[in-house]
Structure 1
C-alpha cells in the first residue's frame, strides 16, 4: 500500500541484504539520532510524553 492505495511492485535498488553484519550498527546510529532528537524535543517542551504509574513517571522514549 502506498498512501492507503494498492500499488504495483517495485524493485529494491539500495539497502542491506538480510543478515548483513552491518545492519545492527546502522540501526544503532539511527536509533541514537532519534533518541537525541526526542530528548531535545522534551527539553524544549515540544513533546511531553506520557505519565505512567502511581508516581506519574513521565516516559517520552526508551
Structure 2
C-alpha cells in the first residue's frame, strides 16, 4: 500500500509540475508559430534550412 500511495503521489507531482511548466511557456513565449511560419515550416522559419532544395532561399 505505501508503494501505491507514493506512486500516485509521484504521478500527481509530475502532472502538476508539467502543467505549470506548460502554462508558463505558453504564456511567455507561446507554443505555436504564426500562420506564415506554419505554412513555411519550422525548419525554414526558425532554423533557416530546408529539406527540399527547390525551396532553398538565399538569406
State the TM-score bracket (shorter-chain normalisation).
Answer: 0.3 to 0.5
When you count helix as a share of all residues, which structure comes out higher?
A: 2
Structure of greater Rg: 2
When you count strand as a share of all residues, which structure comes out higher?
A: 1
